[in-house]
Structure 1
Amino acid sequence: MSVTSPRKSARERLLAAADELFYAEGVHTVGIDRVIEHAGVAKASLYSCFGNKDGLVRAYLQGRHDQRRKRILGRIEQHDDPRDRLLAVFDSLADSVAKPEFRGCAFYNASAESEPDSAAAEESAASRAWTRSLLTDLARDAGAPDPAGLAAQLVLLYDGAMVGARQDRDPSTGRTARAVAAVLLTAALQDQPRSAVRP
């Protein structure tokens, strides 16, 4: 069903247009007039549904987060083994960055364009907090003695893989990140004291 399908409500059409345009071109590059035109709705619909452009950006990012959360949890639920469940987060990442339409992380892109107190920054922070919490819980379930510490490493790896895949246009980056995550997890489970590790 297209963005302008009459079967969609004005809100759905605006969100579909925003999702397509904001992700491809940026939340500040794309003005509301372009979103309205692409959605095929009256300007008043945007204000009645979202209040203003910030409200539309917030809803766009919330939608992106919901999609991402469902995608990641869907991969996790395919596994029973705690180690595989943690690595499934990186399987989901590998799927995402390998898609031809991948343009980087919607949250990184939007927050980089925005002020620190903007809707984009707030939604990006919320999404990152969810990712960090998820990885901490999965690391704990896998038996890591310092689940928060391992999660911090994995978040950095996740971030780097997203940026690297976008910058290098390399769809294999996600698989590489998964391999590194497996090494980090194995090392964490061995629980070697830092003093025992030689440079």
Structure 2
Amino acid sequence: MSAQPPVRARILDAAALLFYTEGIRAVSADRIIAAAGTTKVTFYRHFRTKEDLVVAYLRAQSERIRAAAGNLDPDPCTGLLELATAMGEETCVPGFRGCPFINAAAEFPDAGSPVRTVVREHRNWLHAQVRGRLEQLGALNPDTLADQLLMLRDGAMVHGYVADPAGVTDALISGGRAILEHALS
């Protein structure tokens, strides 16, 4: 018989599943406590507030994405293609409900909230990853170009959730190529 994961990890795992599938505001702390098989006292010992739990959830998502990005090809063009492919394919995974950061930003409209701070930090990191590769390619305005590619990515994430995700990967890649070809020509 294998040991259960530590209680903090169980709480985070339960929250991640419920937040992503049902929405952050729709899920009560009591539901997370029950799903994690813990008590309120233990829950609040690890997370003083539900917002603290949301911040931890988003940080864990960011760490997962950053770890995966560490495996991208160092060639800027190949790495961007791999990134677009991974993002497009993510929209085809059963149960896909959009980008957890876009979803969290929609549920926490106050730009000063800790949740929005984590969303901003993650998006700044992602922007820097794309901008760095664009700089390697010699783009004249890599910040603007990175913004355009991330807007395309955001649209693909939303489209993959609200419409048929078939073709999202190809559309994301061809749209990105068109932007790059225009900017780099």
Shorter-chain TM-score above 0.5: yes
Between the aligned partners of 1:171 and 1:41, the Cα distance in structure 2 is: 40
Q: How does 1:76-91 map to 2 (within 5 A)?
A: 76=72, 79-91=73-85
Q: How does 1:105-120 map to 2 (within 5 A)?
A: 105-116=99-110, 117-120=112-115
- Aligned partner of 2:23 in structure 1 is 26
Q: Per-residue deviation at 1:6?
A: 4.6
What's the CA shift string for 1:5-48, capped at 9, x where partnerless?
Answer: 85211101000000100000011000000000000011111111
Q: Is the CA contact 2:88–2:169 (under 8 Å) kept in the aligned structure 1?
A: yes
Q: Per-residue deviation at 1:115?
A: 3.5
User: Percent of aligned pairs with the same residue?
Assistant: 33
Corresponding residue to 2:148 among 147, 153, 175: 153
What's the CA shift string for 1:79-119, capped at 9, x where partnerless?
Answer: 34321112222011022111112110111111111131323
Q: Is the CA contact 1:94–1:171 (under 8 Å) kept in the aligned structure 2?
A: no
TM-align CA RMSD: 1.7
User: What letter corresponds to residue 151 of structure 2 in structure 1?
Assistant: L
CA 1:103 to 1:43, structure 2 compared with 1: closer, same or farther past 3 Å? Answer: same
CA 1:80 to 1:123, structure 2 compared with 1: closer, same or farther past 3 Å? Answer: closer
User: What letter corresponds to residue 110 of structure 1 in structure 2?
Assistant: A
Q: How many residues align?
A: 184
> Is structure 2 residue 41 aligned with structure 1 residue 62?
no
Q: Secondary structure, in 3 states, of the residue corresponding to 2:51?
A: helix
The structure number with the bigger radius of gyration is 1
- Aligned partner of 1:162 in structure 2 is 157
Q: TM-score, normalised by structure 2?
A: 0.92
Gaps of 5+ in 1: 191-199
- 4+ residue runs over 4 A deviation: none
- Aligned partner of 1:135 in structure 2 is 130
What's the CA shift string for 1:165-189, capped at 9, x where partnerless?
Answer: 1110314213211111112112221
Between the aligned partners of 1:171 and 1:38, the Cα distance in structure 2 is: 33
- Aligned partner of 1:17 in structure 2 is 14
Q: TM-score, normalised by structure 1?
A: 0.86
CA 1:178 to 1:121, structure 2 compared with 1: closer, same or farther past 3 Å? Answer: same
Q: Per-residue deviation at 1:122?
A: 1.5
Gaps of 5+ in 2: none
- Aligned partner of 1:39 in structure 2 is 36
- Aligned partner of 1:178 in structure 2 is 173
- Aligned partner of 1:53 in structure 2 is 50
User: What letter corresponds to residue 38 of structure 2 in structure 1?
Assistant: V
